[in-house]
Structure 1
Amino acid sequence: MSEDPRTRMLAGAVDLMSRGGLPAASMRDLARHSGTPLGSTYHYFPGGKRQLALEAVRFADDQLRSWLGRSLEQGPVAGLREFLAVWRQILIDSDFEAGCPVLSVAVTEPRAEEAVSATRDAFVHWCELLSGSLREHGTPADTAEALALLIVTSVEGSIAMCRVEGSPRALDVIARTLEELTENALAQCTLTRTLDS
């Protein structure tokens, strides 16, 4: 079943933002990119670019939360591995032109207050998913929250480096390091439980 026009436009806006930030996602660019009449963009987004930016960030957040949530059903380590593999494939498939659309809005248009606020919410959501999975597997709350924040910031930074370098090297290095840190955190919890029993 094909996407409805509004969803197709939001997906198109996310793709544009992932490549060039908010400046790349004008209403005219969106119409061209999504193959819809310019008038339709204003029909679905009467608030113009401001509304489009806010809803596109929320749309991207929902997509990423869905991917991450499904990945973490396998556990923190396997979930992290799968999530990073998705990012690696996005980078390769786009020839290193596409990055994180959520971060791109924050860094290219810091005055778009509502959209930037939505980016903060997105980062909180991702950290909460990761820390929640770690806590479910026995990691203490403070360790889980710190590791989740480290994961999100490391992934975001390495994606930017991969785009600059035109190579997945940075993400691959970060993936191995984050996986090892996550395994160690979980092993420490297991050891602590064993000693306490």
Structure 2
Amino acid sequence: MEQINTKDKLLNAASKLFSTQGYYSTSLSQITKESNAPRGSIYYYFPEGKEQLAREAIKKTGEKIKSYMEESLALKEDAALAIHNHIKTAAIKMESKMLNGNTDNTDISLAAMSSEVWSSNELLRQACEEVYEEWEQVYADKLVSSGYDPEEAKRLGVAIQAWTEGAYVLSLSKKDISPILAVSEQILKLLTKND
């Protein structure tokens, strides 16, 4: 079994708490308690405090999901099928978590964080924006590899990310993955028409 270091314990605990109760409602003492980390370890690893911890949690989640996206999209050569299958597979994983009541998530919710901090914390807003742009670029790169013009691929990457993010929020609200599946089907139709 892999040993998780103190810094990762703090990041995981912060991500979970930020996702369940929000950035502003989460205290450093709650993060320390949730992580079972030694007192004072937050400032050892994150000298700038909670904001730095949140920025690194956002970045960690962004990198993890970006890596998953790249691996998932590489499974199919055709961009339309690859993106469709990626979104559909993500929906099925989400449904499994919802059915099993799995709330032990160590990824921060970018949708929740963005909604909470967009007008009150420019550094965290920018951190969320950077992650979204990286995810958009993954879609754009896949489209370019299937012959799309880079500018068109970039615009489609933004649209695909927006559709999937909106569908993700709707699916959570409804406790039903049908919005994500609908987006997956519509993206497949759109991209197939453009071929």
TM-score bracket for this pair, using the shorter chain length: 0.7 to 0.9
What count of residue pairs does the alignment treat as equivalent?
A: 186
Q: Distance in 1 between matches of 2:43 and 2:191?
A: 46
Match of 1:117 among 114, 121, 126: 126
- 1:34-75 per-residue CA deviation (whole Å, 9 max, x = no partner) reads 232342223222211111111111111111111111112223
Code of the residue aligned with 1:17 in structure 2: it is F
Tell me, what secondary structure is at the counterpart of 1:173? helix
> Secondary structure of the equivalent of 1:22?
coil
Counterpart position of 2:142: 133
Equivalent of 1:102 in 91, 94, 110: 110
The normalised TM-score by structure 1 is 0.81
Any idea what SS the aligned residue of 2:40 has? helix
Match of 1:78 among 74, 82, 85: 82
Given that residues 96 and 162 in structure 1 are in contact (C-alpha distance below 8 angstroms), is that contact kept between their aligned partners in structure 2? no
CA RMSD, Structure 1 to Structure 2 (Å):
2.4
Q: What amino acid sits opposite 1:179 in the alignment?
A: L
Residue identity matched to 1:112:
N
Q: CA deviation at 1:166?
A: 1.5
Instruction: Classify 1:18/1:86 alpha carbon distance in 2 versus 1 (closer, same or farther; 3 Å).
Output: farther
SS in 1 for 2:129: helix
Mean CA deviation greater in 169-178 or 81-90:
81-90
- In the superposition, the TM-score normalised over structure 2's length comes to 0.82
Instruction: In structure 2, list runs of 5 or more residues that go unmatched.
Output: none
Q: More displaced, 41-50 or 86-95?
A: 86-95
Moved more, 165-174 or 30-39: 30-39
Q: Tell me the residue number matched to 1:193.
A: none
Q: Is the 8 A contact 1:57 1:102 kept in 2?
A: yes
Q: Indicate the SS of the match to 1:23.
A: coil
- Whole-Å separation in 2 of the counterparts to 1:29 and 1:102: 20
Name the structure 2 match of 1:184: 193
Are residue 170 (structure 1) and residue 179 (structure 2) matched?
A: yes
Task: Note closer, same or farther for the CA distance 1:46–1:80 as it changes in structure 2 (3 Å cut).
Answer: farther
For 1:87 and 1:27, the matched residues in 2 are separated by: 33
